[in-house]
Amino acid sequence: MIDIHNHAIFEVDDGAPSIKESLKMVLEAESMGVKAIILTPHFHIGLFNNIEKVEENYYELRHRVRDCGIDLYLGYEVFIDSLLHGGEKIAEKLKLNNSPYLLMELPFDVVPSYSFDILYKLHLNDIIPIIAHPERNRFFVNNFNMFMNFIENGCLLQLDAASIIGVYGSEVQNFSKKLIKSNLAHFVASDAHSHEDYKEWYLAARRNVLKWAGEEYTKRVFFTNAKSIINKTH
């Protein structure tokens, strides 16, 4: 498995508070069969935007686990309003593993009016947006046609493991199930902020996806599609 969304870099956002917790997260993921992790700290101008600190801590963590059987890569979870002004230039620095893919987060209760302008500019620059945990967006849950507009505008979808096992309630879980059974989701990721998140959510989510959509689709959303990001291919 390859995890494309987690917060294991220490002391940069609301994820791992220390290098000790970072190491616990990576080793917990490895014990479950995760072979690669794209580390994705939040990027939000004015709140989480210290790229130098992120890179410094990323390289330290990667050095610490160099003898483990897991590969680490760098990316960001980018809040959409950080892409408002000159966003395509910012996005170039924040892509997952310097691939064509950008992990993008929307607010949980609304869809900003400028969203499609940003998508248009990203596509002009050959950047493929991946929407992080759309199943947790209340507006999407209640407005499926608007949600489909994002897919029709070239967005890929990443679901959270916690959503799939019901951590955020039955409505979010049912929406996740609908997306999976309709083959609309492209990735399932941990969105882990601690090692317990891996232990309690990740494999349980995989079992649910396997039950809902079968082995081939499960392999696609937990491994094959993510491998394209690692290999920097479309």
pLDDT digits (tens, 9 = 90+) for 38-55: 999 999 987 888 899 999
User: What's the pLDDT at 43?
Assistant: 95
DSSP per residue over 176-214, as a string?
A: HHHHHHTT---EEE--BSSHHHIIIIIHHHHHHHHHHH-
Burial of 139 (C-beta count, 10 Å sphere; 0-12/13-18/19+): middle
Q: What are phi and psi of 67, to 5 degrees?
A: -95, 5
Alpha-carbon distance of 192 to 172, in angstroms, equals 17
Chain mean position to CA 24: 19
145 — phi, psi (to 5°)? -65, -40
What number is the average pLDDT over the span 155-179?
Answer: 97
Q: What is the pLDDT of residues 72-104, one digit of tens each?
A: 999 999 999 999 876 677 888 899 999 999 999
Whole-number Å distance between alpha carbons of 171 and 174: 5
* Domains in the chain: boundaries: 2-230
**Cα–Cα distance measured from residue 218 to residue 188, given in angstroms and rounded to the nearest whole number:** 9
Q: Over 70: is that where the pLDDT of 212 sits? A: yes
Return the pLDDT at 87.
67
Record the pTM: 0.95
The model's pLDDT over 119-137, given as tens digits with 9 standing for 90+, comes to 999 999 999 999 999 999 9
Which residue's entry shows tokens 């959510």? 201
Domain covering 2-230 assigned CATH 3.30.470.20 in the classification:
no
Distance CA 25, CA 61 (A): 11
pLDDT digits over 3-52, tens only? Answer: 999 999 999 999 999 999 999 999 999 999 999 999 999 999 878 888 99
Instruction: Measure the CA–CA gap between 20 and 17, rounded to whole angstroms.
Output: 8
pLDDT (mean) for 160-188: 97
